[in-house]
Amino acid sequence: QVQLVESGGGLVQAGGSLRLSCRASGSIPNIYAMGWYRQAPGKQRELVARISRSESTNYADSVKGRFTISRDFAWNMVYLQMNSLKPEDTGVYSCNAEQLGTDYWGKGTLVTASS
């Protein structure tokens, strides 16, 4: 199993930046990909960014050019650098790990971008 703990959320003015971190522990070596998802109030959870073992990345269209996902070599940490934040980026951001057909989730961290 994989345990995930997020940090770095908070309140920021529109146009500002935040860096989210996700610390992974447990059975790490078999992780295939990790990602960040967000859920805004009253909306479904959506993929924000994902990075695979081969370093391939994909982003939601709404964050391309503003957000960057990265990881360390051993999958211990995954980061989401968020720049030029907009009020519509507000939500609970959760870290996800894909391993052998199973999804693992952290509890999430709240990001609020005020206008």
56-114, pLDDT tens digit by residue?
Answer: 999 999 999 999 999 997 888 999 999 999 999 999 999 999 999 999 999 999 999 99
CA distances, 64 to each of 24, 57, 80, 107 (Å): 25, 11, 12, 25
Q: What is the pLDDT of residue 52?
A: 94
Q: What is the pLDDT of residue 88?
A: 96
Cα 102 from Cα 89, distance rounded (Å): 27
- Phi, psi for residue 87 in degrees, rounded to 5: -55, -35
Cα 48 from Cα 93, distance rounded (Å): 9
pLDDT at 4 over 90: yes
- What percent of the chain has a predicted confidence (pLDDT) above 70? 100
Average pLDDT, integer, range 40-64: 96
